[in-house]
Chain A
Amino acid sequence: MSENLWALREQKRLSVATLASRAGLPIGAIMEYESGTRSIDPRHLSRLARALYVEESEIRLRSDPRPAGSQLQKEEPPKEPAPTSAMDSSSPASNTRAPGMPGGRQRIARPPRVVSEPRPPAPARPSQIAHLEDLIQRLGKDRAAFEAELGRPLEELNRLEASTLLVKLQTELRNAPTPDRHRAYLPEAVDQYELNYLMAAKDHGSVLHFTLFDGSRVEGLVAGFGPYNITVRLSDGSELTLNKLAIASYRWRPGTQIPDAQEQVR
């Protein structure tokens, strides 16, 4: 039992353009086959059958014209033909030009799409509720007060609402000031304060007084320094590098203005 090409195509919910693309044939040829203007070329029959997932025998070689008032002939072409483009032809609901057909331009309408009833939103997942509870607690909020503000219990949220609320609370938590926590007495800088102090002394050209472990004292300008040593220029112009392990303490020359190393770190 063979069927008209246009009927098969519509059963498969394909546009002319899609069928043409699948079969690798020109749109115009499909239009001509469907309108019954000419019979399907035997070379094209197998292609159309494959594109439609039917047997070749199921396709009528010469389609009957559509009955009057059918979707294919529902609309008259506009008096001034609209420009057609490749994009137009690729759209399932687009207007396509049918060369050789009376009127030249026809609207191909797809059968009305069955619109199913929207499903009710799924309730929030238990994991979402648990995550919300955790965030509420971490933000220091009271759950009852939060639910009162929300207008309903957390369990009555749907999945989308819970997700939106989670994002909001996570953002709020991220932006919240970090609560004080116990740190293991880490300094603000590893050795930055001392380096700044020495840098200021060097820039200032000030004499530093060093007290060493062995009781000796050294005075001099800071010529350079590193993490483990300080090089001072003595009054006779010579330089002496002191290992910090040998230093007990040091200070600026009394009476000089000492820059605030703590401020310099910040």
Chain B
Amino acid sequence: MSLGDQLRLLRARKGGVTPAEIETALPDLPKGLYRLAEQRYRAVGDDNSIQMLADYFGVPFEDLRWRLDWSRKALSRAFVHAIDAKLPITLHLSNGEVVSGEVKWWDLGAAEIATANGGVVVQRHAVERWEPRTPEPED
């Protein structure tokens, strides 16, 4: 799960606090950063900001920090690569489930993976990590 999705989930678990309430509670957080971190597909945030958010939600810093390297955009890149190279992809979901197979389609909300046991629609926010990872383009 990307940092943005995780923040959204934590916000829901905290009773649905709004981004405005979080910014008010964290005056040292750069203005607008929380919304960007939650909404953007690229990785947004720095260690200081993530530390403040981890303290606010009461979760370990590392539980949020590693997600910066597994952004939504990186997952899109992996889907594209799997389709172009006709390679299977393995998705590790946050509930412990592992889904592996050919990517049939993907959009911004979900992806269908053709597994050996039939098609499975995976919610993108449920994906923690995936293989193979696709390096970022240099440009």
Which residues of A are interface residues toward B (Cβ below 8 A)?
A: 182, 184-194, 197, 211-215, 227, 244-245, 247-252, 254, 258, 260-262, 265
Asked if B9 is at the interface of the complex by the 8 Å CB criterion, the answer is: yes
- Chain B residues contacting A250 (CB-CB under 8 Å) are 120-121
CB-defined A-B contacts under 8 Å, sample of 15: A182-B137, A184-B73, A191-B107, A193-B105, A193-B110, A197-B112, A215-B95, A244-B109, A244-B123, A248-B93, A249-B123, A251-B120, A252-B118, A261-B104, A265-B105
With A and B bound together, what is the CA distance between A184 and B80 in angstroms? Answer: 10
Digit string of B120-131 for contact with A (CB within 8 Å is 1, else 0)?
A: 111101100000
Contact A249 B99 (CB under 8 A): yes
The 10 tightest CB contacts between A and B, nearest first, are A185-B76, A248-B126, A193-B105, A194-B110, A262-B105, A191-B109, A193-B107, A248-B95, A187-B107, A249-B122
Q: Are A193 and B106 in contact (CB under 8 A)?
A: yes
Q: How far is the CB of A193 from chain B (nearest CB, A)?
A: 4
Main secondary structure of the interface of B (DSSP, over half): mixed
What chain B residues lie within 8 Å of A244 (beta carbons)?
A: 109, 123, 125
A contact residues around B107 at 8 Å (CB)? 187-194
Residues of A within 8 A of B105 (CB): 193, 261-262, 265
B129 to chain A, nearest CB (A): 14
Contacts of A194 in B (CB 8 A): 107, 109-110, 121
- CB of B119 within 8 A of CB of A258, answer yes
Tell me if B67 is interfacial: C-beta within 8 Å of chain A: no
Confirm or deny: B20 has a beta carbon within 8 angstroms of a beta carbon on chain A.
no
For the complex formed, measure the closest distance between the CB of A242 and the CB atoms of chain B, giving whole angstroms.
11
Residues from chain B with a CB closer than 8 A to the CB of A260 are: 104
Residue on A nearest B9 in the bound complex, by CB:
A245
**Cα distance A247–B124 in the bound complex, in angstroms:** 10
B121→A249 contact, CB < 8 A: yes
CB of A10, distance to nearest CB on chain B (Å): 75
Interface 1/0s, chain B 77-117, versus A by CB < 8 A? 10110000000000001110101000011111110100001
Question: Nearest chain-A residue to B74 (Cβ)?
Answer: A185
From known contacts A182-B137, A213-B126, infer whether A249 and B106 are also in contact, taking CB-CB under 8 Å.
Answer: no
A245-B76 contact in complex given A193-B110, A211-B97, C-beta closer than 8 Å = no
Task: Check B122 against A245 for contact (C-beta < 8 Å).
Answer: no
Write the nearest CB–CB distance from A166 to chain B, whole angstroms: 31
Residue among B77, B108, B121 with max Cβ neighbours from chain A (10 Å): B121
Establish whether residues A187 and B122, one from each chain, have CB atoms under 8 Å apart when the complex forms.
no
Q: A260 CA to B114 CA in the complex, in Å?
A: 11
Partner of B95, one of A192, A213, A252: A213
Complex Cα spacing A23 to B81, Å: 83
Which of A182, A215, A249 has the largest count of B CB atoms less than 10 A from its CB?
Answer: A249
List chain B residues, Cβ under 8 A from A265.
Answer: 105
Contact of B108 among A191, A213, A247, A258 (CB under 8 A): A191
Distance in angstroms from A58 CB to nearest chain B CB is: 80
Q: A248–B97 contact, CB under 8 A?
A: yes
What CA separation (Å) do A179 and B120 show in the bound complex?
Answer: 35
How far is the CB of A215 from the nearest CB of chain B, in Å? 6
CA–CA, A251 to B99, complex, Å?
Answer: 12
Taken together as a complex, chains A and B put the C-alpha atoms of A250 and B112 apart, in Å, by 9
Known interface pairs A185-B73, A213-B126; A251-B118 also in contact (CB < 8 Å): yes
Which residue of chain A is the closest to B99 with respect to CB atoms? Answer: A249
Which of B9, B108, B120 meets A187, CB within 8 Å? Answer: B108
Q: Does B28 contact A (CB under 8 A)?
A: no
**Which of A213, A251, A254 has a CB less than 8 Å from the CB of B121?**
A251
